[in-house]
Structure 1
Amino acid sequence: MKFDFVDKAAVATLTITSNLLEFRRHNRAVDAALLSADVVARTSGVFIRKTVISGPVTRGLRAYRAATREAGQ
C-alpha cells in the first residue's frame, strides 16, 4: 500500500494505491480517512485500487494520519 500526500496551498490530495491482495486493508484505510475528516473520495480500478481523497489542508492531514494509522494495524 502506498500513500502520497500533496499539499496544494488551499486543497490537499491524498492518493492511496494498493493491489488486489490488499483490498480489505485499502478499504479500511479509506473508511478511517473518510470518518475522521469531512473530505471527498474517488476510487477506481480493480486489480490496482486507487483512491484520491481531497479537501482542505487541515482535514487532509487528519485523513492522512487516520489512514496511515489504520493501515499500520
Structure 2
Amino acid sequence: MKIDYQDHGVTASLTTTSTVFEFRKHNRVVDTALFLTSVTAVHSGFFRMKTVISGKTPIVMRAYRVVRQEMKR
C-alpha cells in the first residue's frame, strides 16, 4: 500500500494506491479516513486500486494521520 500526500496551498490531496491483494485493508483505511473526517474521495481501478482524498489542508492532514495510524493495525 502506498500513500502520497500533496499540498496545493489551501487545498491538499491524499492518494492511496494498493493492489487487489490488499483489497480489505485498502477499504478499511479509506473508510476510516472518510468516517472520521469530512473530505471527498474518488475511487478508481480494480487490480490497482487508487483512491484520491481531497479537501482543505488541515482536514486532509488529519485524514493522513488517520490513514497512517490505521495502516499500522
Would you say same fold, with TM above 0.5? Answer: yes
Count of residues in Structure 1 that have an aligned counterpart in Structure 2: 73
TM-score when scaled to structure 1? Answer: 0.97
Q: Which runs of 5+ in 1 are unaligned?
A: none
Aligned match of 1:27: 27
Aligned match of 1:62: 62
Residue-by-residue CA offset, 1:24-58 (whole Å, 9 max, x unaligned): 00001101110121000000000000000000001
TM-score when scaled to structure 2? Answer: 0.97
The runs of 4+ residues in structure 1 deviating greater than 3 Å are none
Map 1:10-49 to 2 at 5 A.
10-49=10-49
Q: Percent identity?
A: 48
Aligned match of 1:8: 8
Q: Which runs of 5+ in 2 are unaligned?
A: none
RMSD of Structure 2 on Structure 1 (CA): 0.5
